[in-house]
Amino acid sequence: MLDCSRKIVTFSFIIAVLVLCSTTVCIASQIFSAGKADFNVRCNDQVLCYQTQGIFVMPGENVVFEILAAAGTGTYVFNSKDKQAQVLSDRKWCWEAPGRKGVYTAEICHLPTKVTMVIKIFVRVPFQQVRSGRLHGFKLGDYPKQKKTGATIYNRPDGFIEVTRENQHVWVSPHFQLKQFLCKQTKRFPQYVVIDQKLVIKLENILEKLNARGVSCRTLLVMSGYRTPYYNNRLGNVKYSSHVWGRAADIFIDENHDGYMDDINKDGKLNYLDLQVIYNIVNELDRTPQEKAMVGGMGLYFGNRSHGPFVHVDVRGKRARWGIDFKRPSLAQKKR
């Protein structure tokens, strides 16, 4: 009789644990919202799909917004308090960027549902304003000459986003703010930054996948985003690092704000194995046809005295992997 009771208690405990785990995943999924709009908008060579999204343009650039055919029926309206757009059709508009740097706001509203996409338009400072490696006093350093391969990804940036104390909190996507991508070389303002829109989308996709798997996180901690050539050289990093072109981010999950990677695999330890969760997600995304434009490199790094383990992700346009070998974690491949 006693053995039978013990079996019943054990079985009940197992069921309770399974229910709790299932509930945790469910709650995490319910709390997190990907922030996607009910319609998509083609913006020049990009597709905008979030309720809040940033785009980066040059002064005087013509930006064409077009509702994609897959969107719902009904009337769409384009509004911008800063500058009116030219109506090209009932679902297509051309907006000319102002000649002055700054952050401008446009909205596209689907009138039947009142669903609105808010677009933050960052008008950049042209590269031509750089003098002796400085932009308005901010030290950039010198961009390296283009690689002999002729890859256009290593062309110098057309311009830089000016970041001030006032606009640093602007959301460039539902879960990432402009300030998260700043170079760590100074805390003074104004600062200047380069951000590749594809990187922001990739980080949003990683965040969405993590939450779908029960890893509750509101954002990713970007330990290192953009790096000026000057700061990148000071760190002793490779000359053609994707960070210098705003295409890379070193990330980890830090929901308890202690500055270290959280125990996301729930094994009671904080180590490189927590990176495997992110590693698997990035590999899956890179194999997805819809994510082809965002394929890139991924490097895994152990923690040290100044930081915990982290993952490097980028959108260089081709697959590359380096860092920790999970089968032989004591061996690390050379960083590319």
Query: Number of helices (H) and strands (E), helices first, in the chain?
Result: 4, 22
Which pLDDT does position 15 carry in this prediction? 47
Q: How far apart are CA 96 and CA 88, in angstroms?
A: 13
Domains defined for the chain, CATH in brackets: 33-123 (2.60.40), 125-336 (no CATH)
Q: How far is the CA of 153 from the CAs of 40, 247, 318, in angstroms?
A: 26, 10, 11
β-partners of residue 325 are 328
Token pair of 128, please? 């031509």
Q: Distance of alpha carbon 209 from its chain centroid, rounded?
A: 13
Q: How far lies 4's CA from each of 8, 206, 208, 212, in Å?
A: 6, 46, 44, 38
Which is nearest to 257 in space by CA: 227, 226, 218, 225? Answer: 218
Instruction: Return the closest-CA partner of residue 146 out of 157, 154, 138.
Output: 154
Only one residue has tokens 């805390």, namely 187
pLDDT number for residue 308: 84
pLDDT confidence of residue 23:
44
Q: How far is CA 218 from CA 199, 201, 284, 336, in A?
A: 17, 15, 21, 30
So what's the pLDDT on residue 326? 65
Which residues, in sequence order, are CB contacts of 185 under 8 Å at separation 6+? Answer: 139, 227, 228, 230, 231, 234
Token pair for 204: 């949003």
Structure tokens at 249: 């981010």
Q: What is the pLDDT of residue 73?
A: 85
Tens-binned pLDDT, residue by residue, of the chain (336 aa):
445 454 444 444 444 444 444 444 444 445 899 999 999 999 988 999 999 999 999 999 999 999 997 777 899 999 998 888 999 999 999 999 999 999 999 999 999 999 999 999 999 999 999 999 999 999 999 998 876 566 678 899 999 999 999 999 999 999 999 999 999 999 999 999 999 999 999 999 999 999 999 999 999 999 999 999 999 999 999 999 999 999 999 999 999 998 889 999 888 988 778 899 999 999 999 999 888 899 999 999 988 877 789 999 999 999 999 987 766 554 444 343
The answer to whether 278 touches 210, Cβ cutoff 8 Å, is yes
Task: Kindly write down the DSSP assignment for every residue of 281-325, as one continuous string.
Answer: HHHHHHTSGGGGGG--EEEEE---SS---EEEEE--SS-EEEEEE
Closest by CA to 199, choosing from 207, 187, 191, is 207
Task: Answer whether 62's CB lies under 8 Å from 126's CB.
Answer: no
Q: First and final CA of the chain: distance in angstroms?
A: 64
pLDDT reported for residue 325: 72
CA dist 48 and 1 (Å) reads 64
Q: What is the pLDDT of residue 21?
A: 46
Q: Model-level pTM?
A: 0.87
pLDDT of 327: 64
Cross-strand partners of 56? 122
Of 186, 221, 229, 191, nearest to 203 (Cα)? 221
Structure confidence at residue 69 (pLDDT): 76
Q: Collapse the DSSP code of 143 into the 3-class scheme (helix H, G, I; strand E, B; otherwise coil) and give the result.
A: coil
User: What span, in angstroms and rounded, lies between the C-alpha atoms of 111 and 129?
Assistant: 42
Under 8 Å between Cβ of 38 and 113:
yes
